[in-house]
Structure 1
Amino acid sequence: MSYSYGKWTKYHIMKENDTLARYLPETHILTETDFWRMLNQFGAVVIKPSEGSQGYGVVQVTKLREERFEIHSGNKKIICKRNGLTEFLDKEKYRRKIYIVQEKIPLATVGDRPFDIRVMVQRQEEKNEWSVTGKLVKVVARGYFITNVSPEIIELNAALEKSSLLEDVDFRVISDDLDIIAILTASQLNEYYPNSQIFGLDIGITDKGKLYIIEANLKPSWGLFKKLKE
């Protein structure tokens, strides 16, 4: 049986594992009911095309005061009232394709810019043992909210030392937890994508050190690691 490469499919595969489920942000198919419920609950949500890549079509919506809302797409922000947001969500693209709505993770920052962590996991051909082969930090470019567009690339420990993480967060524990989560995720996904030999995970972290699996990439590029060496 073949499985979609879409975010919605991978989310459900990971959620089947009780341990991984604790690291997944709340996520649903984009519907009017779930959108407004989650926006009211979390104050900010992210809308993503299930089949998208490179951050294309990803939008952040934040609830402001006095029934006003901020729509953040790329490096542009629009402030609107409820009817304006409803019109935005009623665009044809949201009806024709599968989009997901996800709670916005309050990411830790370097300076005043959020970051996430890319973890690469690999196995040798014909073997089932997975190992972490690379970790780095992607810092959001100024004006954006996702790390897909021209991020600043920093070595993990250097980024954590500069970050807004609270003083009682142990960096060694964070690094070890990243390895555990990444290998467990690779093992879980490999049951459904048995031909895969590499996964790239984007993992978010809050100021308190809580980790979230933002996304699992089945065909990740090593280009970010080449930038790190530079």
Structure 2
Amino acid sequence: MGQRLVGILLNAAAHRGIPRGRTGWESLACYEEAAAAYGLTPCYMKLSDINPVYGYCAAYIKGPRGYKKMLLPIPQVIHNRAIYAVGSTGTEQLTAYGVKVFNRQSRYGKDEIHRLLELDSGLRRHLPDTEAGTEGLEQMMKRHSDLILKPRRGSVGKGIMRLKRDDNEDWILNYLHNHRMMKANISPSRLPFALVNLMDTGTYLVQERIPLAEAAGRPFDLRVTVQRGWGGEWAVTGLFAKLASPGSFVSNIARGGEAVEAALALEQAFPSRAAAHYRMSAAALALAVARSLESSLPGLADLGLDIAVTQDGELFFIECNGRDQRYGFYKAGLPEIWKESYRRPMGYARYLLDGGAMQ
């Protein structure tokens, strides 16, 4: 065909929607514009359509009449944008056949990431106190008065709960249900069976709640996109703030949060000079996290990291997202950074195609 192909590995739902142009927030137009800038042609794939033994795959490529599914040689470089069940070895199999798959795993357990970062003495002070299991929850209720309970492998804020001790020493569990905030009283001596089950099955973790800085009374954290680009080095592509909806403790956009420019939120919370300092410090912390994780997580190249800034100006790492929801930049009114978040991975793909070493 005479084209230099780069594979974009999508989940089945997004892949299925390609002929109708319904791929959710995965912008195929952004991939195509970004790939063209590096002399590449993107082809959109799902794992079940790839046969590494024979070296061929069925993939969509855009042509004059829209997207056409074609039989193609497996691209030498593939950017994974899919999420697979725990235990899936599909991307590892491709790697074993010599395909350079970057971000080969796109979802990591929160406990796994926390454990890896705890090994880095330079980052330990930026990690919230974290425990697991019912015993861990009971210990945390003795150490802290405000806790966050979160799924080990959840995403977009689904299932996050807050457990807080009020002025009367009573514990209140807050959680979202159908975008409504619900409350329940909890006794430390008689924890509900459902909560014990979540903790003891390893489904949930418990962390101290970081007292987030607020903009107009709304808590916020920062999403920092860190990616490899041309040359293979990590760089911060951009960042934006995620504001919790009024009265909520969850900042995720998919749970009613709002994306705004980071500078706007920070300057509502702090004086201008301090706001600029915290913005740069959050970017530096995100880079340090990516560089720390790369030695343990092969193929890491495209991350969305949540960084908290406290009311006192301390910075904490909250979460690592291996499939960054880039649309936050678009919703924050930052379309050029949104497009750049597509360009940098395509630059990295070209670097790998030209013989660059994969970390």
User: What is the TM-score of this pair, normalised by structure 1?
Assistant: 0.88
Structure 2 matches for 1:1-230, cutoff 5 A? Answer: 5-31=108-134, 33-74=135-176, 75-82=180-187, 86-87=191-192, 90=195, 92-124=197-229, 127=232, 129-148=233-252, 149-163=255-269, 165=270, 167=271, 170-229=274-333
Distance in 2, Cα, partners of 1:12 & 1:93: 20
Q: Which has the larger radius of gyration?
A: 2
Rounded Cα–Cα distance in structure 1 between residues aligned with 2:125 and 2:309? 13
> Cα 1:199–1:222, aligned 2, differ >3 Å: closer, same or farther?
same
Question: 1: distance between equivalents of 2:188 and 2:303?
Answer: 41
Deviates more, 1:13-22 or 1:189-198: 189-198
Distance 1:168 1:119, change over 3 A: closer
Task: Kindly indicate whether the alpha-carbon contact (under 8 Å) linking 2:129 and 2:208 is maintained by their aligned counterparts in 1.
Answer: yes
Identity among equivalent positions (%) equals: 29
- Deviation per residue, 1:107-149 (Å, 9 max, x gap): 111111100000010112672x111011110100123211121
User: How many matched pairs?
Assistant: 226
Superimposed CA distance per residue, residues 152-173 of structure 1 (whole angstroms, 9 cap, x where no aligned partner): 211111111112x4x5972232
Distance 1:60 1:85 in 2: 18
**CA offset at residue 91 of structure 1?**
5.0
Give CA-to-partner distance per residue, 1:61-87, whole Å, 9 cap, x none: 001244422111113232425169611
* Residues 209 and 96 of structure 1: CA distance in aligned 2, closer, same or farther (over 3 Å): same
| Secondary structure of 1:170's aligned partner | helix
**CA distance in 2: counterparts of 1:185 and 1:46, whole angstroms:** 21
Q: 1:40 deviation in Å?
A: 2.8
The alpha-carbon distance between structure 1 residues 89 and 103, as it changes in their structure 2 partners (threshold 3 A), is farther
Task: Give unmatched runs, 5+ long, in structure 1.
Answer: none
For 2:354, the equivalent position in structure 1 comes to: none
* Structure 2 spans left out of the alignment, 5+ residues: 1-91, 93-104, 335-359
Over residues 3-59 of structure 1, what are the superposed CA-to-partner deviations in whole Å (9 max), with x where a residue is unaligned?
87100001111111111111000111132x321222232201111111111212211
Matching residue's letter, 2:112: T
Deviations 1:80-101 (A, max 9, x none): 2516961155453433343211
Distance 1:192 1:84 in 2: 40
Does the 8 Å CA contact 2:235/2:287 hold for their aligned counterparts?
yes
Q: Is the 8 A contact 1:27 1:101 kept in 2?
A: yes
Q: Quick one: distance in 1 between partners of 2:120 and 2:315?
A: 16
Secondary structure at the counterpart of residue 281 of structure 2? helix
Residue 174 and residue 90 in structure 1: after superposition, are their counterparts in 2 closer, same or farther (change >3 A)? closer
- The residue number in structure 1 matching 2:30 is none
How far apart, in 1, do the equivalents of 2:123 and 2:237 lie? 20
Superposition TM-score, scaled by structure 2 size: 0.58
SS at match of 1:22: helix
